[in-house]
C-alpha cells in the first residue's frame, strides 16, 4: 500500500502547491539544490518549497544533463547541472536535499557538507550504522546542519498521538506492533531490491521501526528477541519481508515488547486483490487501552488515532491536521500553527528552514536518533542472519 499512498501524496502536493504557491519570496530566502531526479522529489521537496516563502527552487542535478534540464524547466528551477559535483560547487546553494539511492546517501552527504552545504537527507539515513556515525561527525566538524528526512515525525497527528501515549491517562505502555507493507509490491528491477545500493524491506519500510522508537522515545533495543526474513527470490541477501521482535527500555524505566513487520512484496488476497487497505500503522497497547495510529506515514492524506478502552471495549477517534501539542503556538512562515493542507514534508521543511535561519525548530530528528535507527537496523539484519548493507566507511 505504501506505493499507492505515495502516488496520492504526489497528487495532493501538486494540487496544494498550485493553490497555495508563495506569491513572493522573503528577502534572503534560502536557495535549495536537489541532488538526483528521483520520483519522490516533487512531493518531498519541490512542492513544499513552492509554498514556503523562505525557500527558492534554485538548482537541480542529475547524472544525465538532459534529465536535469527537463526537470528544471518543468519545476522552474533557476539552474540545472549534469553532475552532482557541479551543483555542490555552486556557491549560491545554501542547502541540498539528497534523494539518491540508499547506498549513495553517505557519499553525497559527506561531499555536500565538505562543500559547505547544509543537508536534508532522505531516509534511511545511510547504508549502516558506521556510515551514520561518520556523517554525523563530519557535519558537526564542518558546522553544517544535517537531518534525516523522517517527515512523518513533523506532522501534528504524530505529536497528538505521542502526547496521548505520554498523558498518563492510559497507563504505561506494555507493547507495540508496527507494520508497513507494499501491495502491489515494489517492481522487480527497482533499485530497492539491489543489495549494493542498500536495498531491502527493513531499509525501505524503515518507517515501521521509526514509529516504534518514536512512540517509546527509545534508543537501540535492549535485546533482539527474534528476526526472521523472507528473502528476495533473486538475491537472498535482500529481505523482501522482515519480522522482528525486540525489547526496548523507555526513558521511564519500563521494558516494552515491540514487534515490527515490513514487507515490500506483500501477497495479494487470493492472488487477485492487492491489500490496498494496509496503510502504515502502529498499535500501542497500554495498561488501560489499545491506541492505533492508522496511516502514520502520510497522515496529511488521511489518518485516525483509535483509542479502545480495554475495560469497556469502547473506541474513541481523534485526528489532527494543524496546530496540536507542538505547532499550536509556533509562528510559522504563514501564520501560527501551520496550515491544515500542509503535508508531512511541508511541516518538515518548515522546521528545517527555521533551523537554518537560526531559530529553534518546533521539532527535529537528531543525529543521535538517526544513528540509533541505523544501529537497530544493523542488529535486526544480524539477528536474521543477513549481511549488513555495504558502506564506504
- Residues serving a catalytic function are 123
Report, in angstroms and rounded to the nearest whole number, the Rg of the chain calculated over CA atoms: 20
Residues sharing a CB contact under 8 Å with residue 187, sequence separation 6 or more, in sequence order: none
- Helical spans, DSSP H, in the chain: 2-20, 41, 47-50, 65-75, 84-88, 105-114, 129-142, 156-165, 201-204, 207-216, 324-327, 344-356, 367-383
Cell numbers placing 21: 504557491
Cell numbers standing for residue 141: 566538524
**Strand pairing class (30-35; 95-98):** parallel
| Element of type H or E holding 305 | strand 304-309
SS3 342: coil
Q: Give 226-294 as a DSSP string.
A: EEEEEEETTEEEEEEEEEEEEEEE-TTS-EEEEEEEEESSPPPBTTTB--TT---EEEEEESSEEEEEE
For the purposes of burial, counting CB atoms within 10 Å of the CB of 318, is it exposed (0-12), middle (13-18) or buried (19 or more)? middle
Instruction: Quote the Cα angle for 176-177-181, to 5°.
Output: 150
- The grid cell for 251 is 526513558
**373 contacts: CB under 8 Å, gap ≥ 6:** 124, 125, 132, 148, 206, 209, 210, 213
Q: Are 75 and 18 in contact (CB under 8 A)?
A: no
Under 8 Å CB-to-CB from 342, ≥6 apart: which residues? 16, 51, 300, 322, 350
**Distance separating the N- and C-terminal Cα atoms of the chain:** 34
CB atoms within 10 A of CB 157: 25
Amino acid at each position: 500500500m505504501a506505493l499507492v499512498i505515495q502516488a496520492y501524496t504526489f497528487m495532493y502536493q501538486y494540487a496544494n502547491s498550485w493553490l497555495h504557491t508563495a506569491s513572493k519570496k522573503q528577502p534572503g530566502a534560502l536557495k535549495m539544490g536537489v541532488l538526483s531526479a528521483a520520483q519522490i522529489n516533487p512531493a518531498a521537496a519541490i512542492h513544499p518549497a513552492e509554498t514556503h516563502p523562505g525557500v527558492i527552487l534554485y538548482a537541480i542535478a542529475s547524472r544525465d544533463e538532459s534529465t536535469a534540464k527537463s526537470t528544471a524547466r518543468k519545476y522552474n528551477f533557476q539552474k540545472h547541472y549534469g553532475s552532482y559535483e557541479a551543483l555542490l560547487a555552486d556557491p549560491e546553494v545554501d542547502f541540498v536535499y539528497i534523494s539518491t539511492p540508499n547506498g549513495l546517501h553517505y557519499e553525497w552527504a559527506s561531499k555536500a557538507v565538505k562543500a559547505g552545504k547544509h543537508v536534508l537527507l532522505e531516509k534511511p539515513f545511510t547504508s549502516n550504522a558506521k556510515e551514520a556515525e561518520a556523517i554525523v561527525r563530519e557535519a558537526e566538524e564542518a558546522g553544517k546542519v544535517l537531518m534525516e528526512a523522517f517527515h512523518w515525525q513533523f506532522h501534528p497527528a504524530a505529536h497528538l498521538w505521542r502526547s496521548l501515549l505520554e498523558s498518563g491517562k492510559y497507563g504505561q505502555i506494555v507493547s507495540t506492533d508496527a507494520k508497513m507493507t507494499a501491495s502491489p509490491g515494489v517492481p522487480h528491477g527497482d533499485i530497492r531490491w539491489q543489495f549494493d545500493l542498500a536495498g531491502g524491506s527493513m531499509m525501505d519500510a524503515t518507517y515501521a521501526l521509526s514509529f516504534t522508537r518514536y512512540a517509546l522515545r527509545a534508543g537501540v533495543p535492549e535485546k533482539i528477541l527474534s528476526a526472521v526474513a523472507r528473502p528476495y527470490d533473486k538475491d537472498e541477501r535482500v529481505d523482501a519481508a522482515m519480522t522482528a521482535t525486540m525489547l526496548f527500555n523507555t526513558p521511564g524505566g519500563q521494558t516494552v515488547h515491540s514487534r515490527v513487520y515490513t514487507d515490500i512484496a506483500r501477497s495479494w488476497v487470493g492472488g487477485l486483490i492487492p491489500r490496498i487497505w494496509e496503510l502504515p500503522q502502529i498499535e500501542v497497547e497500554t495498561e488501560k487501552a489499545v491506541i492505533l495510529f492508522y496511516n502514520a506515514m502520510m497522515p496529511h492524506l488521511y489518518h485516525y488515532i483509535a483509542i479502545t478502552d480495554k475495560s469497556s471495549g469502547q473506541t474513541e477517534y481523534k485526528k489532527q491536521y494543524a496546530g496540536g501539542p507542538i505547532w499550536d503556538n509556533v509562528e510559522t512562515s504563514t501564520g501560527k500553527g501551520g496550515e491544515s493542507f500542509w503535508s508531512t514534508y511541508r511541516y518538515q521543511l518548515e522546521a528545517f528552514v527555521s533551523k537554518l535561519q537560526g531559530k529553534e525548530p518546533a521539532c527535529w530528528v537528531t543525529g543521535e536518533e538517526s544513528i540509533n535507527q541505523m544501529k537497530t537496523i544493523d542488529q535486526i539484519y544480524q539477528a536474521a542472519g543477513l549481511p549488513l548493507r555495504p558502506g564506504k566507511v
